[in-house]
Structure 1
């Protein structure tokens, strides 16, 4: 995410320091880990070391969830970080690919978690694209899904839990950074799958799409300052939208919602827009990615490219490579989640030798859905 240099200069002048703190950025490549939580029932299997965590639900008491860290990640000679996993029953698989690209620093983070909570399989996928530094995105990777699973209404009112967790995590991040003179921010595009119910939440201009019966359908709407509803919201709060190479809040930030960004917090909120839907046999796969992909790869192209790869890890790698080849100047991170549906076959009809031949029906019989 490219943040206007004006923001940094304002912070420098306001705090009377010569340079912004950059200590966290040198650790961004070291601490990039993909943590996946699996239910104690062992329904999911990846063959990695497991550790047990206690998570407290204030409404229902303590819940025990096994956490699996998938380490080490695979880093090839080209600098791509790739990996993936598949459920033991084959009903869900995931692949990811992340690449620093042409940027001097890496500010993208991602997270994938799975757990068994109250007898339900829960999977969470997230893309976090930092701007003005990597700390906000790193904080979301470390805390957002952990906080969500602790929310007392996570399983009973998932949509409410996501909204409140986004806001609370934003407030906690700002509190943790109150004595640090910098103004990091981050997007968050997440997909939470509870059983067969999918919740897609978005803050910023990372994006999630789904391939449904071969068609690309966006499940989030980029939070850009020139969106009519976003412009109206910002101006109603006393903010201004200015053109500085692109439309920016206060002439600084090229998105209208984000985590962090303390100086613009009155206008740049972390309230997510959420879509919820039931997964059926028409849903083929999800693509979650930072804008390093979407800047150069349209939704339809992303679906077409991902369809050519058999495994989601290969699909994610292909998407990041394509974005870089097409000239993306940003960090590029992508997660592909593939749904494996059981195929249902129509029962074989055997002719009855005693029956008279029937006239051919005018319309084809309807196929039974899953």
Structure 2
């Protein structure tokens, strides 16, 4: 199976500015920073995707994934938005985030307070539109992350796409309530339709979580179903935890999933905190 570097220009979704950043927007200069830049972890990333699997019977995923990466400077705050999206839902999520967060020229306090709620609304709105356009929502999924000043991490996943955080070599998944312990726990909510649920999420549920980036937070994996159907969370972490380059780490995950004959879409994005 041939591997390829994925480009958003392959999808007519008008999302080029997400990869390139908002080129037309003037960045506000940062003055009187709250803390020196050397005290904040550096954020780096890399992503990789593969072609959809084709079986002798002609099976093929009808929709390819796409990757979103955007960096913004808002007052004294550095904001990153990352995502791995199935095309049927990701366009809606990305556009909502752009129009309700980035294009509003928000205050730093608004970003810190509203980022989790904005992410939740983006997913619920995109899912509702997907259900209006098609009854078949099998395979629809997405996962994304907001990193605020290298200090706060907001994650969301839906469907069989998943976000896994590596802390001190151990995998933590926001969809697993067993990962909550001590002070470092996910503030998470499960959504089905518009109602919150306290039970373990099902495949179609949306999970949104937030926590601080601590010194032992090493990296985050955002990946599609093709990764997680052939390897467990800790397997994925063990495979790349010694790879410092996030681009090489994402390629390693994608190739391993391909070698294991994954039948789902294989796309992953790795975010490192150094």
Give the TM-score normalised by the residue count of structure 1: 0.52
| Residues 310 and 194 of structure 1: CA distance in aligned 2, closer, same or farther (over 3 Å) | closer
The answer to whether the Cα contact below 8 Å between 2:92 and 2:122 also exists between their aligned partners in 1 is no
| Residues 28 and 157 of structure 1: CA distance in aligned 2, closer, same or farther (over 3 Å) | closer
1:137 equivalent to 2:85? Answer: no
1:273 equivalent to 2:256? Answer: no
Q: Which residue of 2 aligns with 1:146?
A: 98
Q: Which residue of 1 aligns with 2:143?
A: 189
Distance in 1 (alpha carbons) for counterparts of 2:228 and 2:52: 14
1:99 equivalent to 2:38? Answer: no
Distance in 1 (alpha carbons) for counterparts of 2:250 and 2:42: 18
Cα drift, residue 338 of structure 1: 0.6
Of 23, 31, 34 in structure 2, the residue corresponding to residue 51 of structure 1 is: 23
Q: Which residue of 2 aligns with 1:158?
A: 115
Q: Which residue of 1 aligns with 2:204?
A: 256
Cα drift, residue 148 of structure 1: 4.4
Distance in 2 (alpha carbons) for counterparts of 1:307 and 1:95: 14
| Residues 135 and 256 of structure 1: CA distance in aligned 2, closer, same or farther (over 3 Å) | closer
The answer to whether the Cα contact below 8 Å between 2:83 and 2:144 also exists between their aligned partners in 1 is yes
Unpaired segments ≥5 residues, structure 1? 1-26, 39-49, 54-63, 67-88, 223-229, 237-253, 258-271, 341-370
| Residues 299 and 184 of structure 1: CA distance in aligned 2, closer, same or farther (over 3 Å) | closer
1:317 equivalent to 2:251? Answer: yes
Map residues 276-315 of structure 1 onto 2, 5 A cutoff: 276-315=210-249
Cα drift, residue 182 of structure 1: 6.9
Runs of 4+ in 1 over 4 A off after TM superposition: 30-34, 150-153, 180-185
Map residues 1-370 of structure 1 onto 2, 5 A cutoff: 29-31=10-12, 35-36=18-19, 51-53=23-25, 64=26, 91-103=42-54, 104-105=60-61, 106-129=63-86, 134-141=87-94, 143-150=95-102, 153-171=110-128, 173=129, 183=136, 186-195=140-149, 196-221=151-176, 255-257=203-205, 272-340=206-274
Aligned length: 222
Q: CA RMSD in A?
A: 3.4
| Residues 333 and 113 of structure 1: CA distance in aligned 2, closer, same or farther (over 3 Å) | same
Higher helix share: 2
Distance in 1 (alpha carbons) for counterparts of 2:266 and 2:96: 21
The answer to whether the Cα contact below 8 Å between 1:98 and 1:333 also exists between their aligned partners in 2 is yes
Give the TM-score normalised by the residue count of structure 2: 0.68
Residue 315 of structure 1 aligns to a residue whose secondary structure is helix
Deviation per CA, 1:348-370: give whole Å up to 9, x if none: xxxxxxxxxxxxxxxxxxxxxxx
The answer to whether the Cα contact below 8 Å between 1:213 and 1:282 also exists between their aligned partners in 2 is yes
The answer to whether the Cα contact below 8 Å between 1:37 and 1:65 also exists between their aligned partners in 2 is no
The answer to whether the Cα contact below 8 Å between 1:107 and 1:137 also exists between their aligned partners in 2 is no
Cα drift, residue 314 of structure 1: 0.5
Residue 264 of structure 2 aligns to a residue whose secondary structure is coil
The answer to whether the Cα contact below 8 Å between 2:89 and 2:142 also exists between their aligned partners in 1 is no
| Residues 299 and 93 of structure 1: CA distance in aligned 2, closer, same or farther (over 3 Å) | same
| Residues 65 and 98 of structure 1: CA distance in aligned 2, closer, same or farther (over 3 Å) | farther
Deviation per CA, 1:337-356: give whole Å up to 9, x if none: 0101xxxxxxxxxxxxxxxx
Task: Determine which structure has greater relative contact order: mean sequence separation of CA pairs < 8 Å that are 6+ residues apart, divided by chain length.
Answer: 2
Cα drift, residue 162 of structure 1: 2.2
The answer to whether the Cα contact below 8 Å between 1:114 and 1:122 also exists between their aligned partners in 2 is yes
